Amino acid sequence: MNTVLNTELNTLLDNIKADYMFTGGTTESHKRMTKDFNDGLSYVVGKKYIKIITKNRACWGFVVNIDNDAKFKMGDILMAASWASPARNKPRGNIVDGGYKVQWTGPQYL
C-alpha cells in the first residue's frame, strides 16, 4: 500500500469514527460505546482490496488497492456484497480524490 493511500485510509477511518458521534451523548454508557466502536475499527490489506472491519467483525466496506482494475481506480470506496467481496456496481467515492460521504454503518447508498 502506498503512502498516500495509507494516509487517506486513516482519514477515512477518522471520518467513520466522527459519524459515529452523531448522537452527541455525554453519558458514561455513550462514551464507552464510542470508545469501543473507535477501538474496534480496523482494516485488512488484501491483494486487490482493503477491507474495513468493525468491532463486531462486520465488514464496513472495501477500498480498491490496485491501479490496474478494469472498472475502478485505486482508492475507490465500495460497499460490501458479503464478508469476503465488494459490490462492484459503482464506487461510493474515492479516498484519494476526497469529497466522499460515509456513515458509520457503511458507504453511502447510490
Task: Round the average pLDDT of the chain to a whole number and report it.
Answer: 90
Alpha carbon separation from 40 to 35, 51, 63 (Å, rounded): 8, 14, 18
DSSP structural state of residue 21 = G
Reported pTM:
0.89
Look at residue 46 and tell me whether its pLDDT is greater than 90: yes
pLDDT, average across residues 71-83: 95
Answer whether residue 35 shows pLDDT above 70. Answer: yes
Residue in this structure with the C-alpha cell 500500500, named with its chain if needed:
1
- Over residues 21-50, the mean pLDDT reads 86
